Structure 1
């Protein structure tokens, strides 16, 4: 078993503080309370961060996690229907040049920039 504080500390570390930018303290605590009796101190930061995204998936508070830097985002690039997400041009350019991204979007209508 783990504490709410431990879950939130590890979440904040995994997503570079973007949880605090996009969600209220109460929303973050609600998430942590849900998982408090399911996790222990060995639960990885990435499992916590991915669970946070899943927790809010089908709500008005939905977000995605950048595949490159791990930050949470409410707008960004979606590649191939969610195979990868990018929060910024810098992150996008780790896998695509401007020309490659333009070609990807032209050839695959499941690759685009959007807001969630």
Structure 2
């Protein structure tokens, strides 16, 4: 069975490349972007089953990206990551449709799919 393709959206290059490297090591094809706007444009052309996105980004933040993805393709799963995770933000993300909310820093094990 072919592994699902994953879209990674993270403005911190070091964090993004670390996530991408770990996912590729697990055999997943990955597309990555440093901002929500570019990721959204790409997602509209080629939607993925799973998106891993940071919360705090410009010009489109992770919450806005989550809302757009769930409106465009509700069956896509979105995993939110953030160094600024509060219970309130995590609850809001889950209410909008996030599959999970992970606070930074996190281990590769926490991202294991």
Q: TM-score with structure 2 length normalisation?
A: 0.29
Bigger share in strand:
2
Bigger share in helix:
1
Q: TM-score with structure 1 length normalisation?
A: 0.28
Larger Rg: 1
